[in-house]
Structure 1
Amino acid sequence: MSRGIVGSRAGRATIASPLHKDVFDLQTGECYTRPGELHLPTWWVREDEGVIFVAPRPVLVAASHGTADPAGQRAVAGLVDAVRAARPELVVEPSFVDVQEPDVTRTLAGLPDEVGARIVPLLLSAGFHVHVDLQQTRQATQRPVTVSGALGPDRRLAQLLHRRLLEAGFDAESTDRVVLGAAGSTDASAVRDCRLTAAYLAELVQRPVTAAFLAHAEPGLAAAVQQVRAEGSGRVFVATYLLAPGFFAGRAAAAGADVTTEPLLTADGPVPPELVEIVGELYDGRD
């Protein structure tokens, strides 16, 4: 926790660093003495006999699943970098619930003692990792830690899926058919969330969208592709509802569709602003 002297400037409360003489706006964190160079990461303040104590904002721990696929690793790292760029007042640390290191426990252990954390799962649905793994990690630590909800369901993700379909050649005027290809989960609420995302996407493509899964839930993606193909003419598109390239994306591509879209993140493409916005909102308190 930093310690400074309370003051005011143009009617706004300020805090001054006794050591460096820099003056910060308490509400925005902007630095008056070195604008654009310094920023005060403030979360809450406490006044004691004219002295204001400022606690740092919780660290944003971006917890993705993890993958052995280098393209998937680059894609997720790009999202973390984009969140850092969009929220320069925050400390953003990557971590993983499986496959890669550091795991969330190690990331939390490496933070300064006085700093809290807000874990934002970079997962599309709130299944076992969100409801069990990360909650157990939160309960096991001595520091103040909260866990946000998952990235989805969110209509902006459906808009991103729609954009991926258009990039892949989907024709709204044709008889093209769409299957949503999701990872799947043993958690019934996560499966419902995927079906809700399929409903959001159906509104955008103006035709039915079947939610199908690569593991743990039914219908399986390959079976759903076959069923949709048997029901009518036109190409069958799989809208890949996966965050990044990796094992499941490879399985989605092999499910027998005429066209399979890229995941929401690609290894070397631009990071979709929708994902950056959602991560920021989850950090700010949308559970």
Structure 2
Amino acid sequence: MNPVLVASAHGTGSPAGRRAVGALVAAVARARPELEVRAAFVDVQPPEPSHVLAGLDGRPARLVPLLLSAGYHVYVDLTEAAAGSPGTTLCGALGPDPRLAALLRDRLVEAGLRDDDVVVMAAAGSSQRSAVADCERVAADLSSLLGRPVTPAYLSAAEPTVADAVAAVRVPGRRVAVATYLLAPGFFADRAARAGGDLTSRPLLPPHGEPPPALVDIVVERYGSG
């Protein structure tokens, strides 16, 4: 019996964000039709991972965090959920991964990135140093792809803040581009858009339509490595 894939996202009150995450979960289910795929959320919206696991009647499961770095929700919330459900394993977060940096580059290009723009990467942020290091690695990957420095910054729980980073890197006569390193539209994406950049890319998942194949592949790979 294949373990159930429990895709565990943060959760959001944004209808666009909920559609985007739902589309990703549905795409994963289509990519692996032999698996049972369920969605769970660590905050904001139900069902919680522990509730989903309790409803599996003892069947094995793998929790796949739909989170871009391994912070509190991975090390505490999802770790506790897995520990409380025999037969459940916890897989790795989606990032860091070079394919995420490539998606960030694509989103910047869509937003109108120019060759002389200064770039700040806006991540959610975490009190976990390991999660911050994950984001720094993605910023370094994005820097390599763009051939220019990328300053990692955070929307909560870590420094520098995105607004402070935008102000610090601003150069007269050049725009500041904010690369939104978030999975889906919602509260943090709105905050990134208000952080003072001259242009701000959208999150990795579109508010409508199909998710990027690279994200589907990463989710499937995390499940396979669990």
TM-score, scaled relative to structure 1: 0.77
Amino acid at match of 1:176: D
1:15-164 to 2 correspondences below 5 Å:
56-113=1-58, 115-141=59-85, 143-164=86-107
Report what 1:267 is aligned to.
207
Cα deviation, residue 71, structure 1: 0.5
Q: RMSD across aligned C-alpha pairs, in angstroms?
A: 1.0
Distance in 1, Cα, partners of 2:109 & 2:135? 20
Distance in 2, Cα, partners of 1:162 & 1:260? 12
Larger Rg: 1
Identity of aligned residues (%): 57
Task: Tell me, yes or no, if the aligned pair for 1:60 and 1:119 is still in contact at 8 Å.
Answer: yes
- Structure 1 unaligned runs (5+)? 1-55
Cα deviation, residue 175, structure 1: 1.1
Question: How many residue pairs align between the two structures?
Answer: 226
Q: String of CA shifts for 1:146-198, please: whole Å, max 9, x gaps.
A: 00110000000000000001111112xx3111100000000000001101100
Note if 1:277 corresponds to 2:211: no
1:110-259 to 2 correspondences below 5 Å:
110-113=55-58, 115-141=59-85, 143-171=86-114, 174-230=115-171, 233-259=173-199
Distance in 2, Cα, partners of 1:281 & 1:202? 25
Larger % of helix: which? Answer: 2
Task: Tell me, yes or no, if the aligned pair for 1:175 and 1:233 is still in contact at 8 Å.
Answer: no
Amino acid at match of 1:152: G
Cα deviation, residue 270, structure 1: 2.6
Q: String of CA shifts for 1:29-72, please: whole Å, max 9, x gaps.
A: xxxxxxxxxxxxxxxxxxxxxxxxxxx10000000000011100
Amino acid at match of 2:76: V
Distance in 2, Cα, partners of 1:199 & 1:262? 19
Task: Tell me, yes or no, if the aligned pair for 2:120 and 2:166 is still in contact at 8 Å.
Answer: yes
Amino acid at match of 1:137: A
Task: Tell me, yes or no, if the aligned pair for 1:59 and 1:118 is still in contact at 8 Å.
Answer: yes
Cα deviation, residue 234, structure 1: 1.6
Q: String of CA shifts for 1:205-230, please: whole Å, max 9, x gaps.
A: 10000000011101000010011114
Distance in 2, Cα, partners of 1:107 & 1:160? 30
TM-score, scaled relative to structure 2: 0.98
Task: Tell me, yes or no, if the aligned pair for 1:65 and 1:122 is still in contact at 8 Å.
Answer: yes
Amino acid at match of 1:145: T
Distance in 2, Cα, partners of 1:72 & 1:228? 30
The 4+ residue runs of structure 1 with deviation greater than 2 A are: none
